[in-house]
A = this chain, B = another copy of it.
Amino acid sequence: MSNAAQGLEEHRTLVEEWLRDCFRERESRGDLYDAMYYSLLAGGKRIRPVLLLECCRLCGGEPAEALPFAGAIEMIHTYSLIHDDLPCMDDDDLRRGRPTNHKVYGEATAVLAGDALLTAAFEFMLDPSVKLPPERVLEAAGILARAAGGRGMVGGQILDMAGEGHSLGLHEVEELQRLKTGALIAAAAEMGCVLAGGSQEQRHSVRRYAECVGLAFQIQDDILDVVGDTETLGKPVGSDAKSEKTTFVTLKGLETCRELVQKLTNEAVDALTCFGLEGEGLCWLATSLASREK
């Protein structure tokens, strides 16, 4: 493993351990925490928290101090998947190769597990045990709140639902994806920089990087929904076609999409020049996401 990859792998290990223990000391509440842990520890790629920690390190901060924020963004990502899979939403039975949350715990508990994860994200960021300067904590938590709500992820989900069965234009699909997946990825990068007390130039650079990576990530997702296989992905392929969604692939075709992913990945790497060699971890991340098969 390269040094660049190893640094990120260390972040990932930190995040996994933090997530594994985060609710350990809480008093049991029915099967609420079982349901929350079920989805939280389902072995996601941890892209958002790893990106947050690496941007924190890159901007001169201590990643360990940013862990509650890294965990928080993964909680918000996880809650959105639980609610997205509900019968009244995408009605999915399988997620990451396992039955979806409501299939195991029932719909009511799945709704509440999602609600509790979303709330827990803020509990951890705003906990008195966080010793970073209050101004940085406030700013980082505020960035996440804005990226997760109606002006970000949830807004994107509404547009996504509204678009099913309709044919959308490229601009609409871009806007939808910028909100639905892009906002949280950009927030991860920006939060890492803010928590580290980074400069405006650094903040601008990591945000630009994350915007390119986020869009490339979504286009690659659309590609994999057409050419991937169910076993590798851990979820059914062809789900976009099934729900008649307009995707980058339906708009642009596979070949152009592959070129777009490459172009955006190059732009992401270019955005990191101000960090010199220190940016190689994020370069590696962008490249590996562009060539992922799941």
Q: Does A159 interact with chain B (Cβ within 8 Å)? A: yes
- Which one, A132-140, A189-197, A260-268, is touching chain B? A132-140
Whether the pair A83, B115 counts as a contact (CB closer than 8 A) is yes
| Chain B contacts for A162, CB-based, 8 A | 30
| Chain B contacts for A233, CB-based, 8 A | none
Q: How far is the CA of A146 from the CA of B26 in the complex (A)?
A: 12
Q: Does A149 interact with chain B (Cβ within 8 Å)? A: yes
Whether the pair A122, B145 counts as a contact (CB closer than 8 A) is yes
In whole Å, how far is A31's beta carbon from the nearest beta carbon of chain B? 8
Whether the pair B32, A158 counts as a contact (CB closer than 8 A) is yes
Size category, A interface: 35 or more
In whole Å, how far is A122's beta carbon from the nearest beta carbon of chain B? 4
Q: How far is the CA of A31 from the CA of B23 in the complex (A)?
A: 35
Using known A-B contacts A86-B111, A134-B138, A150-B23, determine if residue A32 contacts B155 with beta carbons closer than 8 Å.
yes
Which among B30, B111, B122, B134 is the interface contact of A122 at CB below 8 angstroms? B122
Q: How far is the CA of A121 from the CA of B106 in the complex (A)?
A: 27
- 0/1 per residue, A26-65, Cβ < 8 Å to B? 1101111100100000000000000000000000000000
Q: Does A226 interact with chain B (Cβ within 8 Å)? A: no
Copies in the complex: 2
Whether the pair B120, A150 counts as a contact (CB closer than 8 A) is yes
Whether the pair A158, B111 counts as a contact (CB closer than 8 A) is no
Whether the pair B111, A138 counts as a contact (CB closer than 8 A) is no
The residues in A between 140 and 194 inclusive whose CB is less than 8 angstroms from any CB of B are 141-142, 145-146, 148-151, 154-155, 157-159, 161-162
**Main SS of chain A's interface residues?**
helix
- Which one, A8-16, A123-131, A213-221, A273-281, is touching chain B? A123-131
Q: How far is the CA of A42 from the CA of B134 in the complex (A)?
A: 36
| Chain B contacts for A148, CB-based, 8 A | 119
Most buried by B among A32, A33, A83, A135: A32
In whole Å, how far is A255's beta carbon from the nearest beta carbon of chain B? 32
Q: 16 extra interchain contacts, Cβ-Cβ under 8 A, other than A30-B161, A111-B111, A120-B145?
A: A23-B150, A26-B150, A30-B159, A32-B155, A36-B150, A80-B115, A83-B111, A108-B161, A109-B161, A112-B154, A119-B145, A119-B148, A123-B146, A126-B142, A128-B142, A141-B141
